[in-house]
Amino acid sequence: MARLGDLVRGIRSKNAGPFMITVDVFCATGESFDRVRAALSAAGIARVFGIDPASVSMFEIPGALALKFSFPRPAIQGSRHDRDMHGAQLALLLEEADFPGLEET
């Protein structure tokens, strides 16, 4: 099992305002960027976070060797059901996740 977190330089999740979460995946090399880009998709991200794939926007930023995923917050920031004010623990789920295709090459 290859965990995504072991193959990239870093993953962070943050609020983008009170209503959105944005997750950034930073790769160390161009080769790793290509491999991770091929393995990750909006649907894969939606599975990890238990959300609707149609609500996920995916961006590729080759200049920063980064991928970005943004989606509406599962609970509005600071509302009664919110567990994590800054949304930063969500990144850990992605770090610990395994994606088909990640181990090849």
Partner 1 sequence: MSTRVLVPSGVLGLGFDSDALRRGIAWRPDIICIDGGSTDSGPHYLGSGTSKYSRDATRAEWAALLAARAEAGVPLVLGSAGTSGTDATVEWMFAITDEIAREKGWRLRVATLSSSQPAARVAAAIGRGRVAPLAPRIGPDLSAADLHACANIVALAGAEQIGAAIRTGADVVIAGRTTDTALISALPIMNGDDAGAAWHGAKIAECGALCSTRPLSGVVGVVFDEHACTVEAFAEGARCTPETVAAHMLYENSDPFVLHEPGGHLDASRAHYEAADNRRVRITGSQWVAARSYRVKLEGARLAGYQTTILALVRSERYVRNIRTWLARLESFVKREIASRTGLVEGPDGYGIEFRAIGVDAALGLLETKPSNPSEVGVLVIVTAKSQARATDIARLVNPFLLHFPLTEDEELPTFAFPYSPAETERGPLYEFCLNHVMEIDDPMDAFGLEVRDVGDGQTR
Kindly state whether residue 54 participates in binding partner 1, applying the rule CB under 8 A: no
Rg of the chain over Cα atoms, rounded to whole angstroms, equals 13
- From candidates 2, 3, 7, 16, binder to partner 1 by CB under 8 A: 16
CB of 98 to partner 1, least distance (A): 11
User: Could you tell me which residues are beta bridge partners of residue 24?
Assistant: 12, 68
Using the rule CB under 8 A, is 18 a contact of partner 1? yes
Q: Tell me the C-alpha distance between 57 and 10, whole Å.
A: 20
Rounded Cα–Cα distance for residues 37 and 35 (Å): 5
Using rule CB under 8 A, residue 79 touches partner 1: yes
Interface with partner 1, residue 95, by CB under 8 A: no
Between 17 and 105, name the residue whose CB sits nearer to partner 1. 17
* Exposure b/e, 58-79, CB count within 10 A at least 16 = b: beeeeeebbbbbbbebeeebee
Q: Which residues bind partner 1 (CB under 8 A)?
A: 14-20, 22, 24, 26, 49-50, 55, 57, 59, 61, 63-66, 68, 70, 72, 76-81, 83-86, 89-90, 92-93, 96
